[in-house]
A and B are shown apart, each in its own frame.
Chain A
Amino acid sequence: MRKSRRAIMLVSVLLFSMLTLMFATAAISLAPASLARSAADSGLTASDRATRSGLDWVRSRISQDPRWNAAVAQTFTAPGLYVREGEGQVVGWVAEGSSWSRFRIRFNYQDGAASSAPDSDGMNDPSTAWTDFPYCSCNNLTGSNSRPLPVAQSLTSSSSSSPWTGAPQLTVPSTAMVVSIEGASGRNVSLNAGTPQNFIGAYHKRVAQVVLKLGNNQPITDAAVMAAGNLLLTSSSVVQLNATGGAPARMRTKSNLTVNAGVTSPLGELMHAGSQTISGTLSGVTVKSEDATGLYRIPASKVRVPSSPIGLQAGTYLVDATGHLLYVNMEYKDYVAASPKPPGTAVPTPAGMTIAVTSGNPKVSITLTKDLQISPSGALTGFALVPDGGAPQSATYGGIAATTPPTSPVLTTPDILAQYFNSNYSNKMPLDTATLAAWQAMASANPRLTLANSSASGSRSNSSGYATTSVPYTEYSVSGGGRLLIPNTLPTPPTQAYIWQVGANISNVLNAAAPAEFAGLQTATAASMPAPPATPPAAASAGLKPKDLELKLQGGSSGVMLANDGDITIGAQIASNGSALVSKGDIHLIGTSTDFNSSSGTQLGLNLYAQGSITVDAYDLDATAGGTFHSVKLQGVVYAWKDVTVLAADGSGSSTGPFTLKGSLVAYGGDPAGSSTAGTGNVTITAGSVDITYDPSYVAGLAPAGPFSMKVLSWHQF
């Protein structure tokens, strides 16, 4: 009995030890399970963040191009971010400390070769098919119809061409987008040259399917036509208003809206912040009396600058029938006012600009294949390219009035001197209102004259010319010696007044006169001369007309531009491909047809950019029966800080030309680096027919701040 109890102690200890170890083992084996659960929670949370990162990536890409579907191969790298796009697949990596999380999105249904079938993805199968992520995305933001969205039932190819195997996963509404984002997080990632490639071992993932739509609270409501001031549309027929991809087509004004012939659109909106006067029938168009959002902002800094440009001096360039380029050192408005017109000096064309004479019509073609930068010439900043026969505009339709053909003789400096300072005083020409004003204008701006006395009086000797004593006169000191006296007013008839000079070389004075003032003196003197002109009148202009001259801006894929710090005036047919006119002043395209055609999606989408106003006047004054209007066709962006005026009809309907715009037209009403001023920046379009198609892709590359804000309609996660 005693022996049998001896071992009980040891047995008890062993039993106790065994029980203790069992509890310890159980506790220790439970801990990893808890840790694994924590790790899983952490991984799923990281996956959630990755899906949200993917969604914001999509929003950023859509804000730049509403048709984005990752079809174009691109790689984006930045600290803590690596995104690879192409073939409709997106793979993005976001660094989190020493680990990475990943998002993936696929627009490629892997449904075979690119197809134009309405339900197809429109892409070839990718070089590496995704077999582990069956959920597809579909960008239908610009679609006017709903679209079915497949799901990859098979692990090899997600679906065959429509109809796909099996029912679509869901239907994407029109003007909406479904994004399927896989977010993943793992502990170990394989790297290649520092960029993540794939997860090593197990990883956690989440999938979110999000429905997006263009938001109503856009910072900028997109539109084909935007005006900070009034929007006036005058057409002989119903205005056609469309948009690419079935998107809403809008015209907006921050002020008053006037439409005279109705508007037809599949999905149109007319927005105005002021009053509206709409005549004619609206079909498919909603009128909204509100316009609270901003206009497209394309500041000067966003406009590309000439690259390795050729150069020309500012001034007026004439092109004659022999293909010569004649330079006149005058602003275009001064050239127009001059009569007779200065003939100009022949100048060589720079490399990259060629002039060809043809037997057909147009008779002369100017082709520009390199960027052209106009440089100031003294005080001249404007650039004009017109035919030598002139490019007149009718004052009725705005712009610079036509110049009356010269009916007076062309007077030289000696001719003028002979009239006013003839030694035979019986033949000395007295002043009249026009000649007195011409002399006063010439003298006030003449660098060789210095005002000595603005109201002198007293008798003057007839021996040096006669100035009446009955009116005060202005006395000028002449550079080089002598004086010139010009009456301030005309005396009461029959008393007459004359120009008077004392010991001065008036010839030098006249030669120093500004061209415009000298021309004024020529004109006034010739008109006052009683005798037949000493020089026969210039023949009626027989030079080229705008319809005879063509300016070809052949930019091709790299674009070409004509840039000037002053105004740009073109009096020629314009045929443009991928090119732009950029002015810090006004742009005038006058007297003939205009055809601009640009590429979308880049800065090359810009056609016309003026820090002043843009006027396209297609009125052809040189035609018979009062003239006709040519067509105006613009494909790209037309952008003015002030007004945009397009004249392709006279409003009466008797003479009309069509106006076509694909892209966008903006009269911002101020410097787009700041806010626009409502009420300034009018858009006036007068044409036989108006056909406007909104295409946001032209604007997207120029206004990348994101006019396309998105809102999330639904979020489904699994």
Chain B
Amino acid sequence: MTLAEVLLSLGLCVVVILSLIALAISALRSNSKSSDTVVAEARANQVLDEFVYGLPPATDPFWAQSSFSSPYQQDTTQIGSNNFTTQVYITSLGTAAPGLFRCAVNTTWQGGQAGAAGQGRQVVEVARILYAQ
């Protein structure tokens, strides 16, 4: 075994290992963002469902309002290593049809691992329209 053969083998190993590390890091970051997005969307959808389920009956003064505080509702939940903040926004669509509202839920979180460079503030929004009954 010559020295050159050893060096060539080691060099090849280093290249392969470094490539793998780079690929793994890239995949992990991409996967992390995707996972966070999926989690955020799921969280937003859950909050939206819970909000709709908890709405008062049509006779409640809630439905007579034409404007709502912004955000109407807000909370923060830790899922995994991330804090997800959800905000519920309600907008009257009375100009389109009486008694109609648009309900949007925004979920925001800070992308990337804590203490490491990340993707910055991430946000997803889900929305639907609601009719008072």
Q: Do A and B interact with each other, yes or no? A: yes
Q: Knowing A94-B128, A96-B127 touch, does A9 contact B9 (C-beta < 8 A)?
A: yes
Interface residues on A, range: 35 or more
Contact of B98 among A24, A57, A706 (CB under 8 A): A706
Q: Can you name the residue of chain A whose Cβ is closest to the Cβ of B8? A: A10
Q: How far is the CA of A219 from the CA of B60 in the complex (A)?
A: 11
Q: How far is the CA of A60 from the CA of B101 in the complex (A)?
A: 10
A41 contacts across to B, CB distance below 8 A: 38
- A531 contacts chain B at the CB level, 8 A cutoff: no
- A705 contacts chain B at the CB level, 8 A cutoff: yes
- A59 contacts chain B at the CB level, 8 A cutoff: yes
Q: Can you name the residue of chain A whose Cβ is closest to the Cβ of B12? A: A13
Interface residues of A in 435-459 (CB under 8 A from B): none
B34 contacts across to A, CB distance below 8 A: 35, 38
B23 contacts across to A, CB distance below 8 A: 24, 28
- A89 contacts chain B at the CB level, 8 A cutoff: no
Contact of B131 among A7, A42, A49, A63 (CB under 8 A): A63
Q: How far is the CA of A61 from the CA of B41 in the complex (A)?
A: 30
- A402 contacts chain B at the CB level, 8 A cutoff: no
A45 and B41 within 8 A (CB): yes
Q: How far is the CA of A64 from the CA of B133 in the complex (A)?
A: 13
Tell me how far the C-beta of B93 lies from the nearest C-beta in chain A, rounded to whole angstroms: 4
Interface residues of B in 69-107 (CB under 8 A from A): 91, 93, 95-100, 102, 104, 106
Task: Give per-residue flags for B116-133: 1 if the beta carbon is below 8 A from chain A beta carbons, else 0.
Answer: 000000011111111111
A706 and B12 within 8 A (CB): no
Q: Can you name the residue of chain A whose Cβ is closest to the Cβ of B95? A: A78
Number of residues of chain B lying within 8 A (CB) of chain A: 44
A94 and B129 within 8 A (CB): yes
- B113 contacts chain A at the CB level, 8 A cutoff: no
- A535 contacts chain B at the CB level, 8 A cutoff: no
Contact of B97 among A38, A42, A57, A219 (CB under 8 A): A57
Contact of B124 among A6, A61, A97 (CB under 8 A): A97
- A710 contacts chain B at the CB level, 8 A cutoff: yes
Q: Can you name the residue of chain B whose Cβ is closest to the Cβ of A709? A: B133
- A14 contacts chain B at the CB level, 8 A cutoff: yes
A76 contacts across to B, CB distance below 8 A: 96-97
- A17 contacts chain B at the CB level, 8 A cutoff: yes
- A322 contacts chain B at the CB level, 8 A cutoff: no
- A81 contacts chain B at the CB level, 8 A cutoff: yes
- A188 contacts chain B at the CB level, 8 A cutoff: no
Interface residues of A in 1-18 (CB under 8 A from B): 6-7, 9-10, 13-14, 16-17
- B25 contacts chain A at the CB level, 8 A cutoff: no
A274 contacts across to B, CB distance below 8 A: none
Q: How far is the CA of A64 from the CA of B94 in the complex (A)?
A: 13
Q: How far is the CA of A70 from the CA of B23 in the complex (A)?
A: 55
- B114 contacts chain A at the CB level, 8 A cutoff: no
Task: Give per-residue flags for A678-718: 1 if the beta carbon is below 8 A from chain B beta carbons, else 0.
Answer: 00000000000000000000000000111001100000000
Interface residues of B in 36-50 (CB under 8 A from A): 38, 41, 45, 48
B98 contacts across to A, CB distance below 8 A: 60, 63-64, 704-706
Task: Give per-residue flags for A46-79: 1 if the beta carbon is below 8 A from chain B beta carbons, else 0.
Answer: 1001101100110111011000000000001111
Q: How far is the CA of A63 from the CA of B102 in the complex (A)?
A: 18
A81 and B96 within 8 A (CB): yes
- A379 contacts chain B at the CB level, 8 A cutoff: no
Interface residues of A in 408-455 (CB under 8 A from B): none
B13 and A31 within 8 A (CB): no
B2 and A709 within 8 A (CB): no
Q: Knowing A17-B13, A76-B97 touch, does A60 contact B126 (C-beta < 8 A)?
A: no
Tell me how far the C-beta of A44 lies from the nearest C-beta in chain B, rounded to whole angstroms: 11
A10 and B9 within 8 A (CB): yes
A64 and B97 within 8 A (CB): yes
Task: Give per-residue flags for B18-36: 1 if the beta carbon is below 8 A from chain A beta carbons, else 0.
Answer: 0110010001001100100
Contact of A28 among B13, B27, B58, B130 (CB under 8 A): B27
A7 contacts across to B, CB distance below 8 A: 5
- A307 contacts chain B at the CB level, 8 A cutoff: no
Q: Which of B2, B16, B48, B96 has the most CB of A within 10 A?
A: B96
Q: How far is the CA of A17 from the CA of B13 in the complex (A)?
A: 7
- A95 contacts chain B at the CB level, 8 A cutoff: yes
Q: How far is the CA of A45 from the CA of B132 in the complex (A)?
A: 23
Q: Can you name the residue of chain A whose Cβ is closest to the Cβ of B52? A: A52
Q: Knowing A78-B96, A706-B99 touch, does A9 contact B131 (C-beta < 8 A)?
A: no
A80 and B5 within 8 A (CB): no
- A170 contacts chain B at the CB level, 8 A cutoff: no
Q: Can you name the residue of chain A whose Cβ is closest to the Cβ of B89? A: A80
- B59 contacts chain A at the CB level, 8 A cutoff: yes
- A83 contacts chain B at the CB level, 8 A cutoff: yes
Q: How far is the CA of A704 from the CA of B99 in the complex (A)?
A: 9
Q: Knowing A46-B126, A97-B124 touch, does A13 contact B100 (C-beta < 8 A)?
A: no
- A21 contacts chain B at the CB level, 8 A cutoff: yes
B5 and A49 within 8 A (CB): no
B27 contacts across to A, CB distance below 8 A: 27-28, 31
Residues of A within 8 A of B (CB): 6-7, 9-10, 13-14, 16-17, 20-21, 24, 27-28, 31, 35, 38, 41-42, 45-46, 49-50, 52-53, 56-57, 59-61, 63-64, 76-81, 83, 94-97, 101, 215, 219, 704-706, 709-710
Residues of B within 8 A of A (CB): 1-2, 5-6, 8-9, 12-13, 16, 19-20, 23, 27, 30-31, 34, 38, 41, 45, 48, 58-59, 91, 93, 95-100, 102, 104, 106, 123-133
Contacts A6-B5, A31-B27 supplied; 19 other A-B pairs, CB < 8 Å: A9-B1, A9-B5, A9-B6, A10-B8, A13-B9, A16-B13, A28-B23, A28-B27, A42-B38, A42-B41, A46-B126, A49-B45, A57-B100, A57-B129, A76-B96, A78-B96, A81-B96, A83-B96, A706-B132
Q: Can you list the 5 inter-chain pairs with the closest CB atoms, starting with the nearest?
A: A97-B125, A76-B96, A56-B131, A78-B96, A13-B9
Chosen A-B contacts, 15 in total, with CB atoms closer than 8 Å, are A9-B6, A16-B13, A20-B16, A28-B23, A49-B127, A50-B128, A57-B100, A63-B99, A78-B91, A78-B96, A80-B127, A81-B93, A81-B96, A96-B127, A97-B123
